[in-house]
Amino acid sequence: MRNNNTSPIVYIGVLLVTLVILAAANMLKSHFSSEEPQEETQIRGDYALKAVYLEKENGNNIFVNLTDEYPFTGNIPEGELYDENGEKITQEELNSGDVLNIWGNGIIAESYPAQYNGITKMERTQQSSQEYIDRYGHYLEELFVEKDPAERPYLNVCYTDELAAATVMIPEPLSYTWTYTDENGESRTVTTDAAHVLQTEPVEVKKISEPMTMELQFDEAPERVELLVWEDALLGQYPDSTAQIPEGTEVEVTKNEKGNLEFTARPGSVYLVQGQWEQGTAEYGFCVGMPQ
């Protein structure tokens, strides 16, 4: 029979080695773990995200995705905004720094800031987080710079297809008459008389094979909008004179449930948007192509 006379010192040594290994494992775990808890990337239910709502004193607002830390704009669904207790509230009851769970179709346009027009429900989970205001408040200053009064409104044409939501910026008006007050308090009026849209190379928003709903989004809401259309076969047919250019056909523009202006775009068409503001008028051109 084997006599086991192992010294107690050996057992103590084994125990110490084990403790060292466990301590090292915990240190490695702590080292590779984030110092701050990560935000959830998915909330129970359909596609959803966690975001903070930020608002300036003038009412301009933005959301910031707390998982991927990017700013985005989004519609606040009427009748589907809730507080921490599940009670319905209105947009006026939201405050800067409120944290929200946001549900929707998951189609977020890859613009800057991103655009999430398919939001279906919001639920507030925390009010006025100063931590998030301090961390992400810089987006308000970056995205909502005080506008030069001489600057004209810009236009985005937006649509959603089976792939994504997209935004096409129409960079400059074709023509405009704009009145503003300069830094000396004097009123000034600037007028341009550019070529007709059929004499230009308008921005192509998209090629489509059948009618599609599109939105007209201005950074400053106009008092009135008129939309005219021509067949794109007329592009370049009147290089020297506008006298023979036929009158455009007026297109119906309506407000959708989100309060945005929308119209039915048709393939092979050239559009002229005529907007009217308190400061003046501006015209913007674009076209919708047809697949070859």
Give the pLDDT confidence score for residue 220 in this predicted structure: 86
What DSSP line would sit under 255-285, residue for residue? E-TTS-EEEEE-SSEEEEEEEEETTEEEEEE
Query: Using CA atoms, how far apart are residues 128 and 131, in angstroms rounded to an integer?
Result: 9
pLDDT tens for 119-143 read: 999 999 999 999 999 999 999 999 8
Give the pLDDT confidence score for residue 45 in this predicted structure: 53
pLDDT tens for 170-211 read: 978 999 999 999 888 999 999 998 899 999 999 999 999 999
**Residue boundaries of the structural domains of the chain:** 48-143, 155-289
Beta strand spans in 184-260 (E): 187-192, 203-207, 212-218, 224-231, 249-251, 254-255
Q: What share of the chain is helix, strand, coil (3-state, %, to 5)?
A: 15, 40, 45
User: Helical H runs in the chain?
Assistant: 8-32, 130-136, 138-143
pLDDT tens, per residue, the chain with 292 residues: 444 454 555 455 545 545 544 554 454 444 434 444 344 444 445 668 999 999 998 788 999 999 999 999 998 888 999 999 999 999 999 999 999 999 998 888 877 898 888 899 999 999 999 999 999 999 999 988 777 888 889 899 999 888 777 889 997 899 999 999 988 899 999 999 889 999 999 999 999 999 999 999 998 889 999 999 999 999 999 988 888 999 999 999 999 877 789 999 999 999 999 999 999 999 999 999 999 8
Give the pLDDT confidence score for residue 7 in this predicted structure: 53
Give the pLDDT confidence score for residue 108 in this predicted structure: 86
Q: Which residues have C-beta within 8 Å of that of residue 120, sequence separation ≥ 6? A: 46, 77, 80, 103, 104, 105
